[in-house]
Amino acid sequence: MCAVTNVYLHIKLVNRVSFTIFITLCLVSLPAVSLVCSSERGAADTTQMKELEGILTEARNLESYLKEKKCNLRQTLALISNKLQS
């Protein structure tokens, strides 16, 4: 059984360029009967989950960074616009 979590990060920049980052995380929950698996598979699953968590963290950091840049660009453009109108 696999619980799928979809994460969409949509970022629209000032110059109308849009980036959509799509990440699908598959969180595995095994029934009690199939808990007997090799330690190699368990280690591989753990490694894969850590990699996915790292990707998700990077995507969230990127989203935050781009939102901050977007805000700064808007402020700069507003300042330029105000100076041009004066």
pTM of the full structure:
0.48
3-state SS assignment for residue 4: strand
Rounded mean pLDDT, 59-81: 91
CA 76 – CA 83 distance, rounded (Å): 11
Task: Tally helices (H) and strands (E) across the chain.
Answer: 1, 2
pLDDT of residue 50: 85
Residue 64: pLDDT over 70: yes
DSSP state of 14: T
- Report helix, strand or coil for 13: coil
pLDDT tens-digit series, residues 18-60: 555 555 544 444 444 444 455 666 677 788 888 888 888 888 8
Confidence of residue 78 (pLDDT cuts 50, 70, 90): very high
Q: Which of 23, 24, 9 is nearest to 66 (CA)?
A: 9
pLDDT value, residue 10:
52
